[in-house]
Structure 1
Amino acid sequence: MKIYDYLIIGAGSAGCSSAYFLHKEGKSVALVDREGIAGGASGAAGAFLSPLPGQKNIYNSLVNNALDFSLDFYQELLPEAVDKKGVLRVANDNFDEDKLSQNSIKYDYFDSKKLHDISKNFREIEGYFYENAAVIEPIQICNKLTKGCDFYKMDVKELVYKDGFYIVDNIKAKNIILAQGVSSSLVEIPYMKISPIFGLRVDVKSTTKVPFNIHKAISISTNKQDGTLSIGATHERHDSAKMECLTTCDKCSFYVKGDDEQVKSLLKQADELIKLENLEVVKIYKGARATIKSYFPVIGKIVDYESSLKKHPSIQNGTKIPQEDLEYYPNLHLINALGSRGFVFGPYLANILTKNILHNEPIPQEISTGKLFYKMARKSKF
């Protein structure tokens, strides 16, 4: 039975990034996943790295700080898997002209004439160009992140904790990090309600040269180094109370049909932005991204909800109990709810989590497990 310092359950962007930073600190690390490295939503992701416009607030500051960190990180880690050419954002219902123009991020305004000067294939559109944006190759990145770590393909159904170790099949680990995305958690975390959001990505070939990423309701990548373009969108939120993710979306009965209509809609929306000549669909990817209601990601030690309320029932009345005095599952951490920004958040959050675990550096309250615990505990009648 092999013993590791850390066993990470889930090998998407969150899990692979966590493996990288822990291994870099000299820890022995293994990952397990039922599908493989980047075998789920992360491998299906369009992997667009873009800033979040709008007047400065806690959430877009988090996104944009993560973007700066992760773009630099990927360019140093594997430059050949990164195409950094910026993004043109076209106004839509969620991001209107005011929100795109009145924000704290530097941009250039491109009217239709300027876009036609860049490429005659642009439709009659205008938009806001942000230089600090890229598209990456997710599977290449995840494989690079996990170099030096062991990987086991298995579907973990339960965790057994005995004599200071977690036991999973023939693996023993001193610590566990849950990076499970939309899959059912292996421990009770009632204060974190994951909602899967379905995403679709189509890789295509075209003789059109797309000078930079384009985003409206859907995203179109620049021509990548393998000659393809990625076209992607997030389509719908599931009701997680009614659906449990037991496999990847490409095998799920909910999505096994309807490819033609989904792809047709995606390509139609892309054509409204730029004419893609001699278009050929190469591959279709599907994936469910994990989010919570607030859209913030979540990292940190996993609070034992029931034990904490039994020990400190006054929390329900608003008493401020220090986070370090709560009850936690032993040596158990999580990194989850990265949503459609998995590769923006992945390295940034994994670095924070690693520093917290190994060096006791604090986790920002807005992304901590503690914040969600307190929010639910103060509303509950335990």
Structure 2
Amino acid sequence: MLKEYEYIIVGAGIAGCSTAYFLSKHSDSILLLDRNCDLAQGASGAAGAFLSPLLGKPNKFKDLVTKAIKFSTQFYLENTPKEITNCGVVRIPKNQEDEKKFQSYKPYMDFEYEQMEGGYYFDIGSQVNSYNICKVLAKDVEKLFKYEAKDIEKKDGFWIINNELKAKNLILTTGADISLIGEDYFNIRAVWGQKIDIYTSTQTTKNYHKECSLSHSTFIEEKNNYLTSIGATHHRIDEDLNICNHCLNSFKNESSYSKQRANEDCEKLISLANDIKKLDDVEVCDIKIGPRASSLDYFPMVGQLIDSKTTIDKYPHLVNGSHVKDEMLSKYDNLYVLNGVGGRGYVLSPFLAKQLVDNILDKNELEDEIKVHRMFKRWVKKSKITK
């Protein structure tokens, strides 16, 4: 007998945990599973977890991030007040060209700011404790770790995983690993990120962002030093997506993300942080890495998956550039995704998870910019598929 759930969520990073949180308000039949040994062991654990405004002239992506940071900041303050530090952030231009851009952005700032320390200080800037946030959000749902979802199939109205689990609704929040999806239009690229925690005798009272992000510090009595985080997104490289935060000691020398690479990145991050604020007596105490999932247009991908083969069979003229309404596209029944949050996972995920759950339960329409449909439409126009 297969164990049955109303909802199974595959992937226990911030996207999966946020989705679990909102679903848990409506159902007690939820399973959150992950191939790693705990929550937030991939990109979500390697995130600096900074909530920082996106600067720029008006565009749809900036609008999305602005709405998300307002929502998620308030969400964390209300639901996880012990895990968020609202200390503000100083955004510092990297060079003169960057400074000119900042000047041109001034009329379009979405948040109040003041000039400070060679940059622009935003009071809304925050940092959250990535692991503890995920732990709090997922506390009311059943969890299954060290479980690899290798195969999914639809049978008799249920989604079957590994012929062992069954779900009325399946939600994939798997980040850079999209092997379960099997749709060519669902194109996610892995951009590796690294976060390090350091002890230093230098105190920082705010977050900073220049070429990397440098966090506010916490005084650790037993070390008689301050604990500070440094993080950045980098390295568009091909690498084993199974690599997680516990893999550093098992890296092979020939791996492109070897221990040597990780150590070199530590040195680079410390150098970049010193360009923001001089850090004295630095001791690295933790390294975390993970592949951050980004779509080709940088927007996230949310909602029901499009069945490309069935859709093209029904509307072969799509490959010639013709259009059909979104509601006419064939979808996989009760199969949903939340993916492509990139380096802004802790900003975007609660905001998007709320919309996804409202879409699943109440059929609330998702915004066009985040729907999976857009990627299918672009892909099918470029495809050489013929009926």
> When the two structures are superposed, what TM-score results if normalisation uses the length of structure 1?
0.91
Paired letter, 1:236: H
Paired letter, 1:17: S
Write the distance in 2 (CA, Å) between the matches of 1:95 and 1:182: 32
Match of 1:161 in 2: 154
Match of 1:18 in 2: 19
- Secondary structure at the residue paired with 2:71? helix
More moved, 23-32 vs 303-312: 23-32
Give how far 1:92 is off. 1.9
Structure 1 residues 89-123: Cα deviation after superposition (integer angstroms, max 9, x where no partner): 11126981233232422343435xxx4xxxxxxxx
Give how far 1:314 is off. 1.7
More moved, 88-97 vs 262-271: 88-97
| Residues 1:26 and 1:95: Cα distance change in structure 2 (over 3 Å) | farther
Give how far 1:28 is off. 1.9
- Secondary structure at the residue paired with 1:367? coil
| Residues 1:302 and 1:89: Cα distance change in structure 2 (over 3 Å) | same
Paired letter, 1:78: T
Write the distance in 2 (CA, Å) between the matches of 1:184 and 1:81: 30
Structure 2: runs of 5 or more not aligned: 221-225
| Residues 1:358 and 1:27: Cα distance change in structure 2 (over 3 Å) | farther
Match of 2:206 in 1: 212
Paired letter, 2:11: G
Tell me if structure 2 keeps the 8 A contact 1:83–1:225: no
More moved, 210-219 vs 309-318: 309-318
Match of 1:351 in 2: 354
Match of 1:263 in 2: 266
Tell me if structure 1 keeps the 8 A contact 2:54–2:66: yes
| Residues 1:155 and 1:50: Cα distance change in structure 2 (over 3 Å) | same
Paired letter, 1:339: G
1:139 aligns with 2:139: no
Give how far 1:278 is off. 2.9
| Residues 1:374 and 1:27: Cα distance change in structure 2 (over 3 Å) | farther
More moved, 316-325 vs 156-165: 316-325
Structure 1 residues 32-85: Cα deviation after superposition (integer angstroms, max 9, x where no partner): 111121111101111011000111110111111111100110111111110111
Write the distance in 2 (CA, Å) between the matches of 1:328 and 1:244: 30
Tell me if structure 2 keeps the 8 A contact 1:250–1:286: no
More moved, 60-69 vs 164-173: 164-173
1:128 aligns with 2:124: no
Structure 1 residues 200-246: Cα deviation after superposition (integer angstroms, max 9, x where no partner): 1110122322121010110000124875211001121125xxx4523
1:323 aligns with 2:326: yes
1:236 aligns with 2:238: no
| Residues 1:192 and 1:108: Cα distance change in structure 2 (over 3 Å) | same
Write the distance in 2 (CA, Å) between the matches of 1:275 and 1:96: 22
Structure 1 residues 6-47: Cα deviation after superposition (integer angstroms, max 9, x where no partner): 100100011111111111123521111111211111011110
> When the two structures are superposed, what TM-score results if normalisation uses the length of structure 2?
0.90
1:88 aligns with 2:90: yes
| Alignment size in residue pairs | 366
1:97 aligns with 2:99: yes
Write the distance in 2 (CA, Å) between the matches of 1:95 and 1:322: 43
Match of 1:77 in 2: 79
Paired letter, 1:338: V
| Counterparts of residues 1-382 of structure 1 (less than 5 Å) | 1-35=2-36, 36-92=38-94, 96-101=98-103, 102-103=105-106, 104-105=108-109, 106-111=111-116, 115=117, 126-153=118-145, 154-169=147-162, 170-224=164-218, 228-238=227-237, 243-248=239-244, 251=247, 253-258=255-260, 259-382=262-385
More moved, 137-146 vs 246-255: 246-255
More moved, 87-96 vs 310-319: 87-96
Match of 1:119 in 2: none
More moved, 309-318 vs 29-38: 309-318
Write the distance in 1 (CA, Å) between the matches of 2:358 and 2:49: 25
Give how far 1:320 is off. 2.4
Tell me if structure 2 keeps the 8 A contact 1:83–1:224: no
Give how far 1:2 is off. 2.7
Structure 1: runs of 5 or more not aligned: 116-125
Paired letter, 2:4: I
- Secondary structure at the residue paired with 1:201? strand
Write the distance in 2 (CA, Å) between the matches of 1:107 and 1:148: 37
Write the distance in 2 (CA, Å) between the matches of 1:94 and 1:346: 33
Give how far 1:250 is off. 5.5
More moved, 248-257 vs 312-321: 248-257
| Residues 1:8 and 1:110: Cα distance change in structure 2 (over 3 Å) | same
Pairwise CA RMSD of aligned residues?
1.9
Tell me if structure 1 keeps the 8 A contact 2:41–2:245: no
Structure 1 residues 119-160: Cα deviation after superposition (integer angstroms, max 9, x where no partner): xxxxxxx10111111110010000111111111110111113
- Secondary structure at the residue paired with 2:318? helix
Write the distance in 2 (CA, Å) between the matches of 1:65 and 1:37: 26
